[in-house]
Amino acid sequence: MKPEIFNEMIATRRQIHKHPEEGWTEFETTYLVYERLKALGYTKILKGTEVIKTDCVLGRDEQLVQKAIARAVAQGVPQSFIDAIESYTGCVGILETARPGPVVALRFDMDALRIEEADTADHLPQVLGFRSEYPGLMHACGHDAHTAVGLAVARWVMENKDRLNGTIKLVFQPAEEGVRGAWPMVQAGLFDDVDYVLASHCGGKAGPGEVALVHRGVLASTKFDIRFTGTPSHAGNQPHRGHSALMAACGTSMMLAGIPRHGDGTSRVAVGRLVAGEGRNITPVHAYIQAEVRGETAEVNEFMCENVRKIVMGNAMAYNVDYEIERVGDATTLDRCPEMIEALREVALGIEGVKVLDLKSPAGSEDFTWMGKRVVAHGGQCAFFRWGCRHNGHHKFHFDLQDTESMPVAFKMFTGYVNKMNGQN
């Protein structure tokens, strides 16, 4: 890896880390990616509504979006850019070599999380001065590093374009958290001509110096926002006249945990947030739940979804309240393409000091799976790998990834794969 690319990659990661943006609000990040791709000489750059089919978008909060636009504009993102992307984040750089060869797509996600970052002396971003400058937001899953690796790969691709064949697509995806961004990118047709699609994530079960090839265990998942609306009454005088949304929400939460296990595979259910009620002596009118389910197969996940719907309906009926269930995110399982996994193994074994692992047990979810499915559906292949670090736990306030040590491995994996598939020698 050339020192200029390495230095720029680390600086970019730290720059993005300072300005974390959650799903569908990655305006500064999208602008940074777009400007960088343009400066590198990419002539085909798609962005915003060119890469997102807006009527397929889930879990996008217009109020959050508008607030983020105001912040991004204050940070120097031109209003003309916001207009050009029609307030939708996401960017894709495409290099067409005009020489016959495969279409290879690489996916990099860009979004952050609602977490207040650690400010203690043992937290490297704090010590080195690149801690999040946005209160309550943090890159606590390493997508800042994913984006920076993507831009470093984009630079390498440009510098090597005269000895590459086929087409290389660099896909910068919004809203991976909550599994929202991939589906509308697939629906925009970005993967219809792709032969091989590759994505990665830092950390997980991979430690420092390890590359983990994912064979299975990526769970299908569906995210729900559930709302109950009850009838208010005086809790002392007329408790019998009220219908409590809070009770329906509590009943639902308890029962969700009791969905039977499925015989055909691992399942998960979680209620991550419950907000309800107005005041001590008022029968609660409003209740709001954020919940999710997962399944080892699409069928197991659908079984979980069906139970969520029944439990919500049943509790609404029991407590005599109205309900609304909104699907706000969706991911499927990872298609397994052994040939592509073996190609990645060869690339990984060629990197000095790297140890290769094979992952087969149930882990998290990824909406990259939709991209993989689309490519596999027309005869292509997909794969997903992890590059290791000591992360202190994903989605936690002291998450870190030792950028200078871990990120070069990711860079070498992606460029190594492009070299293998599109290289002329």
- Alpha-carbon distance of 340 to 198, in angstroms, equals 9
Stretch of 125-133, 139-147, 369-377, 411-419 lying at the interface with Zn ion (CB under 5 A) = 139-147
Q: Rounded to the nearest whole angstrom, what is the least distance from the CB of residue 90 to Zn ion in the complex?
A: 16
- Alpha-carbon distance of 147 to 93, in angstroms, equals 13
Residues in contact with Zn ion, shown as a per-residue x/- string from 94 to 133 under the rule CB under 5 A: ----------------------------------------
Q: Binding to Zn ion by residue 401, rule CB under 5 A?
A: no
Which candidate, 382, 371, 283, 399, places its Cα nearest to that of 340?
382
CA dihedral 66, 201, 335, 272 (to 10 degrees): -60
Stretch of 74-82, 138-146, 226-234, 276-284 lying at the interface with Zn ion (CB under 5 A) = 138-146
Q: Rounded to the nearest whole angstrom, what is the least distance from the CB of residue 377 to Zn ion in the complex?
A: 25
- Alpha-carbon distance of 331 to 180, in angstroms, equals 8
Q: Binding to Zn ion by residue 91, rule CB under 5 A?
A: no
Neighbours of 158 (CB within 10 A): 17
> Sign of dihedral through CA atoms 190, 42, 89, 83?
negative
Q: Rounded to the nearest whole angstrom, what is the least distance from the CB of residue 398 to Zn ion in the complex?
A: 16
Q: Rounded to the nearest whole angstrom, what is the least distance from the CB of residue 141 to Zn ion in the complex?
A: 3
Tokens 């996940």 correspond to 301
Residue number with CB closer to Zn ion (91 or 141): 141
Q: Binding to Zn ion by residue 363, rule CB under 5 A?
A: no
Backbone phi, psi, residue 5, to 5° = -70, -40
Q: Binding to Zn ion by residue 213, rule CB under 5 A?
A: no
Q: Rounded to the nearest whole angstrom, what is the least distance from the CB of residue 18 to Zn ion in the complex?
A: 18
Among 92, 141, 308, 328, binds Zn ion (CB under 5 A): 141
Q: Rounded to the nearest whole angstrom, what is the least distance from the CB of residue 308 to Zn ion in the complex?
A: 24
Helical segments of 140-277, H only: 143-159, 182-187, 245-256
Q: Binding to Zn ion by residue 154, rule CB under 5 A?
A: no
- Alpha-carbon distance of 217 to 207, in angstroms, equals 18
Q: Binding to Zn ion by residue 199, rule CB under 5 A?
A: no
Stretch of 25-33, 136-144, 249-257, 279-287 lying at the interface with Zn ion (CB under 5 A) = 136-144
DSSP-derived 3-state class of residue 333: coil
How far apart, in Å, do the first and last CA atoms of the chain sit?
19
Interacting residues with Zn ion between 5 and 24 (CB under 5 A): none
- Per-residue HEC secondary structure of 339-390 comes to HHHHHHHHHHHCCCCCEEEEECCCCCCCCHHHHHHHHHHCCCEEEEEEECCC
Binding residue count for Zn ion, defined by CB under 5 A: 1
**Residue whose Cβ sits closest to Zn ion:** 141
Residue number with CB closer to Zn ion (141 or 211): 141
Residue number with CB closer to Zn ion (175 or 340): 175
Q: Rounded to the nearest whole angstrom, what is the least distance from the CB of residue 143 to Zn ion in the complex?
A: 6
Q: Are residues 293 and 272 in contact, defined by beta-carbon separation less than 8 angstroms?
A: no
Q: Rounded to the nearest whole angstrom, what is the least distance from the CB of residue 16 to Zn ion in the complex?
A: 14
Residue number with CB closer to Zn ion (363 or 375): 363
Name the residues that contact Zn ion, by CB under 5 A.
141
